[in-house]
Structure 1
Amino acid sequence: MKAGAFAVLTAAGSGTRLGCNGPKALVEVGGVPMLVRAAQGLAAAGVAGIIVTAPTEQLEFFSALFPNARTSGGVPVEVVAGSPASRQASVACGLAALPGFAERIGLAFGEDTPVLVHDAARCLTPPEMIARVVAAVEAGHNAVIPAIPVTDTLKEVGPRTQAGPREEVGSRTEEGLHKEVGPCEQVGPHTEADLLKEVGSRTEGTARQTQVSGAASLHAPLEVTETSVISVRPVVATPDRSRFASVQTPQGFTWQTLRRAHECAGERANSEKTAATDDAGLVEAMGEPVVVVDGDALALKITTAVDLALAELLVDSSLR
């Protein structure tokens, strides 16, 4: 990787779904906070500088995780306040700090500089995958996302209704995001699924359409009694899963592309209800092409206690 790539590392999110009271990025995996692990992965991939977006009230504590404002590998780190409004708003805070940060550490920063947006919750992301994203940006692609194949069957579902006693019901579902993007390069062999995008054959293409589908989630066992009323959703369609890919981070962009995408959609960032769930979505909204490179199952997003347990096992094994 060339020395000019920078990264915005989001770490302002809460750990509610993970079962902790504080910021999720401070939860340890294998004895190391997720934020520190994620920053080390970026450093190992050759990123020149890292902006961390943290909760406003904990900037000093987050900064203390990086003695001398550097990772253990010596890469400069600056911690700035994120936004409680949305992830999109927090990323915008990090982007606003990037030019000044680059100037202070004495590194060139221009319109074509590769900029990554990464999540601390994907702290096991292999450096090789990060380097692959940056290499694609340096090769001339203005927006690059890593993704892996979808292996679960996908169902498009309708509005929720109530099922009375004795009715057959399926497994519970929660909404997940699926995006249709243009044709892309071959996606790697891994299987972990988070954000999903529809992909085409192995030729160049552009991003266009969004649709919602269901994704299985884990819950405590559900006891059904004679008088139970259970919420159900009808199946509308079964899309061809080969057209979809599960998207990960870091996502990579040229500075001018990412800056313009956030400027064009700034009003969406005021609420999680309207904010983009990933930065590539903002580029898609401008009608600009987004391409896909191979992701990796190790780049799983740690959101629930089950995810955390899996991450701990991976750290303890030879896989990570």
Structure 2
Amino acid sequence: MKSTTDTTRPDDPRRVIALVAAAGRGTRLGAEVPKAFVDLRGRSLLERSVQAMMTAEVVDEIIVLVSPDMADFAQGLLRSRGILDKPEIPIRFVHGGGERADSVWAGLQAIDCQDAVVLIHDSARALTPPGLIARVAGAVLGGAAAVVPVIPVADTIKQVAGDQVVGTPARSELRAVQTPQGFELAALRAANEAYFAATDPGFVATDDASLMEWHGVPVTCVQGDPMAFKVTTPIDMMLAKTIVDEAEPTIFEVPRE
């Protein structure tokens, strides 16, 4: 897979539409509310993710994927913060499904055009720098059909079967994948249609890039950012709070390879 680090937006008329996934329950965090609505020093994870999309200056529309029982709350929350008062970047709310792939498919079906760039982002990656968002969008606008931000893996990874180690992949060939992931709308729609039409696709699409790989679409890598980590466990939330207490997330860079 190729690598690109360009953060500029090419002269491309296609709209960039961000789907922000906020329909999950996030049980591993142990919070009393769904994870997207957990407070991080005065702002929810969802608010921070949506605002990052707006600050990136490449996104033309935002679609928040939210569970039906939280849709009114999500809309009220963003309205109370003034986030919905920016007509230049409209925000819509679409009901998500039980699984992440269901939510994304619902969002794709709500897009009212045939040719666009789609960014799919986990609201739990609430400290993602706007520059990373622009980098992913720029790579798709520059010609890539599917783009993922990646960072090197620090730990040795073992492949296991039961309680036995059966392999150790070379760490130099492994990358941790983040979001937003970017796609050509038509290609992502086609992959989703094939996935949901298959009686047994043979795998569970835990991210959208894996679905594109399954559909035979090349996936391009761009440089990720440590700040785009996913808030999943209480320890992750402790880290996020510490970072926000110290400074807004602009302070780390991944070493170039």
TM (normalized to structure 1)? 0.69
In structure 1, what is the Cα distance between the partners aligned to 2:40 and 2:220?
31
Q: Tell me what 1:114 maps to.
A: 117
Match of 2:179 among 249, 262, 265: 249
Per-residue deviation, 1:314: 0.9
The 5 A counterparts of 1:23-102 are 23-46=34-57, 47-67=59-79, 70-71=83-84, 75-84=89-98, 86-99=99-112
Question: One-letter code of the match for 2:131?
Answer: E
Listed as ranges, the matches of 1:232-247 within 5 Å are: 233-247=163-177
Alpha-carbon displacement from aligned partner over 1:117-175 (angstroms, at most 9, x marks no partner): 0010001000000100000001100100000000111112221xxxxxxxxxxxxxxxx
Partner of 1:206: none
Give distance in 2, aligned partners of 1:129 and 1:88: 23
SS in structure 1 of the partner of residue 110 of structure 2: helix
Give me the whole-angstrom Cα distance separating, in 2, the residues matched to 1:257 and 1:121.
25
- Of 14, 17, 27, 2:28 maps to 17
Pair 268,91 (structure 1): closer, same or farther in 2 beyond 3 Å: farther
Q: How many Å separate the matches in 1 of 2:74 and 2:24?
A: 13
Alignment of 1:1-320 (within 5 A): 1=9, 4-46=15-57, 47-67=59-79, 70-71=83-84, 75-84=89-98, 86-99=99-112, 109-111=113-115, 113-159=116-162, 233-267=163-197, 275-318=204-247, 320=249
Question: In the alignment, residue 138 of structure 2 is paired with which amino acid?
Answer: A
1:20 and 1:114 map into 2 onto residues whose CA distance is 34
Amino acid at match of 1:94: G
Give the corresponding residue for 1:218. Answer: none
Match of 1:225 in 2: none
Identity %: 42
Q: Distance in 2 between matches of 1:241 and 1:71?
A: 44
How far off is 1:318 after superposition?
2.4
Deviations 1:209-241 (A, max 9, x none): xxxxxxxxxxxxxxxxxxxxxxxx222222211
Superposition deviation, residue 269 in structure 1? 11
Please, which runs of 5 or more residues in structure 1 have no aligned partner? 100-108, 160-232
**Partners in 1 of 2:198 and 2:33 — Cα distance?**
26
* Alpha-carbon distance between aligned partners in 2 of 1:129 and 1:40, rounded to the nearest angstrom: 14
State the Cα distance separating 1:288 from its structure 2 match: 1.2
- In the aligned structure 2, how far is the partner of 1:284 from the partner of 1:248? 16
Bigger-Rg structure (1/2): 1
SS in structure 2 of the partner of residue 144 of structure 1: strand
Cα deviation for residue 110 of structure 1 reads 3.8
Secondary structure of residue in 1 paired with 2:47: helix
- Which protein has the bigger helix share? 2
RMSD after superposition = 2.2
| SS of residue in 2 equivalent to 1:235 | strand
Question: What SS is found at the alignment partner of 2:49?
Answer: helix
Tell whether the 8 Å contact from 1:14 to 1:21 is kept in structure 2 after alignment. no
State the alpha-carbon separation in 1 of the partners of residues 37 and 134 from structure 2: 25
Change in 2 beyond 3 A, CA 1:238/1:72: farther
Mapped to 2, the partners of 1:268 and 1:62 lie a distance apart of 33
In structure 2, C-alpha distance between the alignment counterparts of 1:317 and 1:264, rounded to whole Å: 46
